[in-house]
């Protein structure tokens, strides 16, 4: 299982290179998700709505936190990949490119 998740993880990171100018990546060394923080402070809710319009479900990190939320997390979204196959990851990233075309 570890090998299968590592392959998906590495594949997702390869697919995300198109977003490097728009987002900082983190969380890539823990769990089955990647965090994307918008460099230009695009609200996470805006990114989530645009993704949903293309049929992609992503999550705002600030929705998962208790107490005072660090400002950067208002601009951070989480992409999970554990349940996806490589072709689904590719399809999802292609849809995110469409959803976020005004930001990249």
Share of the chain above pLDDT 70, in %: 92
Q: Is the pLDDT of residue 70 over 70?
A: no
- pLDDT tens readout for residues 11-47: 999 999 999 999 999 987 778 999 999 999 999 999 9
Give the whole-angstrom CA distance, residue 70 versus residue 41: 13
Contact criterion met (CB below 8 Å) for 16 and 93: yes
Residue 56: how many other CB atoms lie within 10 Å = 19
The strand ranges marked E within the chain are 23-26, 33-38, 59-60, 76-80
Residue 104 has a pLDDT of 86
């Amino acid at each position: 299982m570890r090998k299968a998740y590592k392959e998906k993880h590495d594949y997702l990171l390869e697919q995300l290179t198109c977003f490097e100018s728009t987002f900082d990546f983190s969380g890539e060394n823990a769990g089955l998700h990647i965090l994307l923080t918008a460099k230009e402070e695009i609200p996470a809710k805006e990114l989530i709505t645009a993704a949903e319009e293309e049929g992609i479900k992503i999550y705002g990190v600030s929705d998962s936190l208790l107490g005072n939320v660090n400002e950067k997390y208002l601009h951070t979204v989480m992409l999970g990949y554990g349940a996806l196959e490589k072709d689904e990851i590719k399809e999802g990233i292609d849809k995110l490119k469409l959803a976020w075309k005004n930001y990249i």
